[in-house]
Amino acid sequence: MKKLFYLICILLLLFSCSVENHNNGVPEKCFDLSNEKDRIYIEDKGNFWELYKIENLKKCSVYVSENIVNFNFYFSKDVNVTSIKNTQTFFSHVITKTSKKYPSAYEDIDKFIKNDTIVKLRIFVNNRILLYTSFDFKINEFDYYENIDIDIDRTIGNVDVENFVKDLKSINKNIENVKIFKALKGSVVCVVIDTKSKIDKIQEAEICKYVESKIAPEFEKLSKDLYGINMDALGVYLEIRFGNIKIFEGTYFNGDKKRWANIDWYNFDFFNLGNEI
């Protein structure tokens, strides 16, 4: 009996470790834990990836489990942002039936979408989840998550981010690495900083000051030069880490009213001025 007890404990420990390694900081909501035998798979009747110019797609699967319709797309590590965005466009066309380019895409899904249906999109890169979107028809609400730790080419044109990196490292010698890139969400710029050791509140304030006085205005100007209004940098998300520990995070509102806030930037509507807090 004791041997059985110890065996169960070991198995539970191994399972918990495997789940932790699998998630790697990604919220549990992003993963599908449904039983394979309970899934109803749906096959597409055409080559949507060619029509939507989705490249480096290794495989995709669409299936229904209870009241949830799942779209899973798996890309190689060489995928570009354009293919990711084209996948999001394809997904939106399927669930809204607005595609003039490919109206028959997954046409059998329609019979599964009802008033209480939840539709989920997961995009994986090199078997790690990059993006998760969920839409609940019952409450008419989206839920979004983006894994900013996955390196894909999110180069920002016409902005020399290397100058920002040099400035930040000169401000604080404790800064080891700086990444500045556009989030896939579109209206957010991300600044992710890794430090050699923990920093204090004064050093955090110095970094925040540089972000709001130098980085945010530059991206706002770039967007206004392109579109006449600020569309691409309404929020600047700053994350400071030491090792694998997040020691600071905050979002700078870069619209008409500028200030720092602690919000869920994934699901915040930066275009709705009434949402500003």
pTM of the model: 0.83
Per-residue pLDDT tens digits for 135-180: 998 998 999 999 999 988 776 666 778 889 999 999 889 999 999 9
Residue-level pLDDT at 153: 77
3-class SS at 208? helix
Closest CA to 147 of 192, 177, 187: 192
Average pLDDT score over residue span 252-261: 92
What spatial distance separates the first Cα and last Cα of the chain, rounded to whole Å?
Answer: 58
Given a contact cutoff of 8 angstroms between Cβ atoms, the answer to whether 70 and 120 are in contact is yes
Strands 57-65 and 258-261: unpaired
pLDDT at 12 over 60: no
